[in-house]
A and B are shown apart, each in its own frame.
Chain A
Amino acid sequence: MIAIVDYGVGNLFSLKCSFAAVGENAVVTSDKTAIKNAGKIVLPGVGAFGDAARKLKAQNLDKLLKDEAAAGKPILGICLGMQLLFDKSFEYGEHEGLSLIPGAVRPIGDVIGDGLKIPHMGWNELRFCGQRHNLFKYLSDGDYVYFVHSYYADTPREYVLATAEYGAPLTAAAANGNVAGCQFHPEKSGKTGLKILKAFCETE
């Protein structure tokens, strides 16, 4: 079973349905016992980093996620949920993240240059880096996924699984051991996205 962490950020209906579409039972929950008992954890999120980090902390879910990560449980962060996995973010100030993957979250405007719209919104191609991560075992280089974001994860190359070209190679996916994150929305990325969720469900 998969626990989709509900900490009051965003609409989780589609995410839950997308797991059902790949034959996996997912529960949307903020219950600590349910999260502990789940085989895998998904950390979703849309909105602002600072607000989300505060909400996680207010429910002590930050500590729980760190403990579960340390215990080796597979964790997948999506969009803002992915950004929360890093050390900190510079979205409207400076906010602390979960420090499960080394790096900082910065405005894409710092790196993409002029003439490109912000947010980076729409379908873009994945370019895989290094050895193909298990999450992407069913994908091909250049497969399209759906992005909506104005900030990106600035992380050492060794943690980057894939990038998307938008004025610069923006981090599209990153991982540190059992903790992984996608900047894009697999639950909104058609068949390609479902293949990623299926691969996550199959993680040992």
Chain B
Amino acid sequence: MITKRIIPCLDVRDGRVVKGVNFEGLREVDSPVELAKYYSSCGADELVFYDITASSDGRKLFTDILRETASGVFIPLTVGGGINTTDDFERVLSCGADKVSVNTGAIKDPSLIGRAAKLYGDQCVVLSVDVKRVDGVFRVFAKGGRENTGLEAIEWIKRGVESGAGEVVLNSIDTDGVKRGFDIEMLEAVCEAVSVPVIASGGAGSIEDFITLFKSVPGVDAGLAASVFHFGEIEIARLKEEMRKNGISARLGG
């Protein structure tokens, strides 16, 4: 049977991996290429590279870092950040990305999703959404979580999937960086609304948080996190073993 995926996310700025806590207070961790190799060897199922500065100032992702990673890491790579056009898709796909995630770029121009899906296939287009509760409503935020777009999140995600997004990354701004668990309520709402794979992001603090995630929301396909992996608070191999002990399908080994 297909396994639940564990995905470390590497936020890249100036060729280094950083992790924002609630999207602020950036702090350097390590070399993206070395981290990617390390994660792949300890059983990460996939990797996400985000150029976190791109949506603020339009800085292009360092494609040489991506190319170097893709030439030595043989698991699926998703690239996001600063993806505004199909040329941006082309740029990262030609450097070894397998999937490309769109966020602010798709909000600015929703036709991007459909055009990219037609060119590269649905499986290549990942809709990444930063969501925060505002007066009890799930709202989509743009520009790294700083700007309320006013879009209602579930409607936006449905529309993205109908346009051709083959996967959804749901990042809850409400739980991100707090390390008290994923946003179960928000994830349930999204899984109910769409039938493509859903990746949970924001809030992982412990192995138990992943167990709770997969047990409470069976529709979630993958759990994504950054700092808990980067700082060694959660070892991926141990996480996978615990998942298996709890009856959650997980792939062991590198």
Which residue of A46, A47, A144, A187 contacts B251 across the interface (Cβ within 8 Å)? A144
Binding site for B on A (CB under 8 A): 11, 13-14, 17-18, 20-21, 46-48, 117-125, 144, 146-148, 165-166, 187-194
* Shortest CB distance B122–A (Å): 8
In the complex, how many residues of chain B place their beta carbon closer than 8 angstroms to a beta carbon of chain A?
A: 34
How many residue-residue contacts, CB under 8 A, span A and B? 90
* Distance between B2 CB and nearest chain A CB, rounded to angstroms: 5
A121–B78 Cα distance when bound, in Å, is 14
Q: Please determine whether A166 and B75 come into contact, CB atoms closer than 8 angstroms.
A: no
Given contacts A46-B121, A117-B195, is CB(A188)–CB(B74) below 8 Å?
Answer: yes
Query: Is chain A's binding surface mostly helix, strand, loop or mixed?
Result: mixed
**A46 and B123 form a contact (CB under 8 A):** yes
> Are A120 and B2 neighbours in the complex by a CB distance under 8 Å?
yes
Residue of A48, A123, A125 near B45 (CB, 8 A) is A123
Taking CB atoms, residues of chain A closer than 8 Å to B221 are 117, 121-122
List residues of chain B with CB within 8 A of the CB of A125: 1
Q: Which of B5, B120, B121, B195 is close to A122, meaning CB atoms less than 8 Å apart?
A: B5
Chain B, 40-84, contact with A by CB distance < 8 Å: what is the 0/1 string? 100001000000000000000000000100111011100000000
Contacts of B98 in A (CB 8 A): 11, 14, 188
Q: List 17 A-B contacts (CB under 8 A).
A: A17-B72, A17-B96, A46-B120, A46-B121, A117-B196, A117-B221, A118-B195, A119-B122, A120-B2, A121-B197, A121-B221, A122-B197, A123-B3, A124-B3, A146-B75, A191-B254, A192-B253
The answer to whether B123 and A123 have CB atoms under 8 Å apart is: no
A190 to B252: give the CA distance in the assembly, Å.
11
Determine if B2 and A11 form an interchain contact, defined as CB atoms under 8 angstroms apart. no
Distance of A141 from chain B, by nearest CB (Å): 14
> Do residues A188 and B75 form an inter-chain contact, with CB atoms below 8 A?
yes
**The one of A11, A188, A189, A190 that contacts B93, using a Cβ cutoff of 8 Å:** A11
